[in-house]
Structure 1
Amino acid sequence: MPSPFDALFERSAPLAQAGDHRRDVVPEENGRWPISLVVDQPPELTCALRPLTDAARTLVGPGHFVTGHPEAAHITLRALEPRRAATRKEDAFVRRCAAALERAVSRTPPPTFTLTGVTLTAISVMAQLEAVDGWPLMEAVEDELGDDASYERDLGLTRDIFYTNVIHLADDIADPAGLVSWVRANRRIEPVTFTARSASLVTFDHAVVDGEQMIRMDRWYTFPFAG
């Protein structure tokens, strides 16, 4: 049976080939990149993603966001509100969400995932993660947030996959055919299984690090998993 990652590739490969993919933009008011709850990537996943990020970056060319960079890479659990420049760490809403994440982390085991390959979306090159036991954490986060989980609910967004992106497309793709061929060849790779160590409430901002564009994270609150 085709997976959601297979469906993403089948829908998105023609868009990339035709240059009709979406183009990401720097964070702007009421737009993408709001404060979010994320699973922090452990070093073993960051290491496994490095060759995938490098290969994808070569094929897409300049002008894109290198999301696989250690300062940008993350596994999203929940976006919390529309992008707002005025949001501050001390805001009551932010503190409530951080406390909800802390409670969720305290009552769930460290989640384990397996990196199994890459796929395409309309706006990114995505690394697919199979959740060995990650869903209890996702459910605990929604439960602990309560009414503060309303942003994604109001958007009609249902999270049915875990993933981490290595590139967000922000410009034309230098080698569309090459990118699609490379993704197709790496839909399945030698699996890498890892266990997360912490989860964070983060903000995002555009940055240039070592000459590379990215949407860099700032961790406002971080909570380690027990054990």
Structure 2
Amino acid sequence: MEKYRSFVPEDDERVLRYQTALRQASARVGSIRLELTGLTLTPASVMLCASPSDPSVERLAEYLAEELADDGWFEAGFNRDIWYSNLVHFTGLPADPWALVEWVSARRNLDLGSSVHTYADLVAWKFNNRHMVSGTLGRAELSGPTADARSRSSGHSR
């Protein structure tokens, strides 16, 4: 949503607006299913890659951008081409970086199943001098119609 801030007060006006936008966008989308497709590597982390099973996650991103309006400036015009979860954050160079590159490359394409998400969280990350720690600033239930319900109501089947 924004550039990193080392301190975010609980009554921060921007965070309150982000929470409202998240609740409003989440009410328009049902649960999100992602296919877990393998691993990738960045200079800062090992990531689990995912692919959307249907347009729900893209719809959530669109609705969130609408609800954020001017507060959505940080990702305005950004088209996400990867969905992921960080598995490992690096605090320095790995002992054998080439071995890690080869290990992740061998796992680039894996069928790791799927995940179903029924909530969206607004999260801030901090480094606590040992590892990354997340703090939840807000949570909203994905309570809108599911992709299957939208297909049935429009007369389309999958």
How high is the TM-score relative to the length of structure 2? 0.80
Residue 20 (structure 2) pairs with residue 99 (structure 1): yes
Question: What is the number of equivalent residue pairs in this alignment?
Answer: 142
- Which structure's CA Rg is the greater one? 2
In 1: Cα distance, 2:59 partner to 2:135 partner = 25
Match of 2:136 in 1: 219
Aligned match for 2:35, one of 114, 132, 135: 114
Structure 1 residue matching 2:75: 3-state secondary structure: helix
CA shift for structure 1 position 203? 2.0
Match of 1:175 in 2: 96
In 2: Cα distance, 1:115 partner to 1:214 partner = 24
Match of 1:127 in 2: 48
User: Which amino acid in structure 2 is aligned with residue 138 of structure 1?
Assistant: A
CA shift for structure 1 position 136? 1.0
CA shift for structure 1 position 86? 4.2
**1:43-192 maps to which residues of 2 (within 5 A)?**
80-133=1-54, 134-153=57-76, 157-192=78-113
Moved over 4 A (4+): none
Q: 1:88 to 1:115 in 2, by over 3 A?
A: same
What's the C-alpha RMSD, in Å, of the aligned pairs?
1.9
Structure 2 residue matching 1:95: 3-state secondary structure: helix
Q: Is the 8 A contact 2:91 2:131 kept in 1?
A: no
In 2: Cα distance, 1:100 partner to 1:87 partner = 18
In 1: Cα distance, 2:4 partner to 2:111 partner = 37
Structure 2 residue matching 1:96: 3-state secondary structure: helix
User: Which amino acid in structure 1 is aligned with residue 123 of structure 2?
Assistant: V
Structure 2 residue matching 1:84: 3-state secondary structure: coil
1:106-158, Cα deviation, whole Å (9 max, x unpaired): 001111101110011232211111111321111111111111001233xx643
In 2: Cα distance, 1:205 partner to 1:169 partner = 13
Match of 1:75 in 2: none
Structure 1 residue matching 2:51: 3-state secondary structure: strand
Any stretches of 5+ residues in structure 2 without a counterpart? 145-158
CA shift for structure 1 position 176? 1.8
Percent identity between matched residues is 32
1:143-186, Cα deviation, whole Å (9 max, x unpaired): 11111001233xx6432211111122221211222212211211
How high is the TM-score relative to the length of structure 1? 0.57
